[in-house]
Amino acid sequence: MSEAGADRTNFCYRHPDRQSYILCQRCGRTICPECQTQAPVGVICPECMREQRATAPRTKPAAWTRVRSAAGRGAPVVTYSLIGITALVYLLQWIPGLGVTNALFFSPVFMTEVLPEPWRAITSVFLHSTSLFVHILLNMYTLWIFGRLLEPMLGRIRFLALYLISGLAGSIGVVVFAAPTTQVLGASGAIFGLMGAFVVIQRRLGGNMTQLYVLLAINLAIGFIPGANISWQAHLGGLIGGALVGLILLETRSRSRRGLQIGLLIGLAVVLYVIGTVVARWKIGAF
């Protein structure tokens, strides 16, 4: 019970019927035990707590901080990210009942109105055979090698565009050169695209091409080995697509031609899509 003449400053400002002798360390108002929040020194009221939280510097996750730090040092973060995403998808492929492989693999029929799912031309790039671990191992190793060379040279966005357009070109190569019922998955088309772009760039820079030509010839020849179950069509399509992207990036590398560069890259992707759609519909109709 409080006395009628009691000093009102000794009552909680939020609960006038509760007497207290504790003051907020920030604003000095009286607060009851229910309204008190422990601070490093003393207690603070709810309003001051909200103000403190609103003005406090926001911290970012440690993982994001490390990524930003690596990006600042010029590390090929897009290359590492592509490898990480591909590895994650590969792990998801192993989960029974999830159906990741069936949901993302590519076949020419997905470029037609029969099963209109053209996005699979890109999603299949992030899949790999679960029956052959060396499939993803070799592809990611090659991506690691060429990514560290090309990403700093081209820039992160251009390198990502090169990878994705090359992957699309690999799928379109399957549409053009393979049977309409062919089913494919894997990053090989995108990887060959990196090789194709690197060949174009190295030729312009005047580098030694002998070893690169030998490596490219060996990898292309492997796709023709009987029973190897390797899609040489995706390899060839990715190689051509990557070479075209590399040529576009070289010829429009000046800052004043950036708009033209973006337009040509988008145009190339559209042309590949149109070719894939037209050829797939023609093949399915004649099959």
Residue 268 has pLDDT above 90, yes or no: yes
3-state secondary structure 94-162: CCCCCCHHHHHCECHHHHCCCCCCCCHHHHHHHCCCCCCHHHHHHHHHHHHHHHHHHHHHHCHHHHHHH
Distance CA 163, CA 168 (A): 9
Catalytic residues: 188, 235
Give residue 3's pLDDT: 46
Distance CA 157, CA 279 (A): 30
Residue 211 has pLDDT above 80, yes or no: no
Angstrom distances, CA of residue 244 to CA of 20, 119, 201: 78, 21, 11
Confidence of residue 5 (pLDDT cuts 50, 70, 90): very low
Distance CA 126, CA 149 (A): 21
- Which amino acid is residue 15, in one-letter code? H
Q: Which pair of structure tokens corresponds to residue 253?
A: 């590398």
Distance CA 79, CA 140 (A): 9
pTM: 0.75
Distance CA 55, CA 52 (A): 5
Confidence of residue 18 (pLDDT cuts 50, 70, 90): confident
Confidence of residue 229 (pLDDT cuts 50, 70, 90): confident
Q: Which pair of structure tokens corresponds to residue 73?
A: 């040092």
Taking each helix axis as running N to C, give the angle between helix 232-251 and helix 210-222, from 0 to 180 degrees, rounded to the nearest 10.
Answer: 150
Mean pLDDT of 158-187: 96
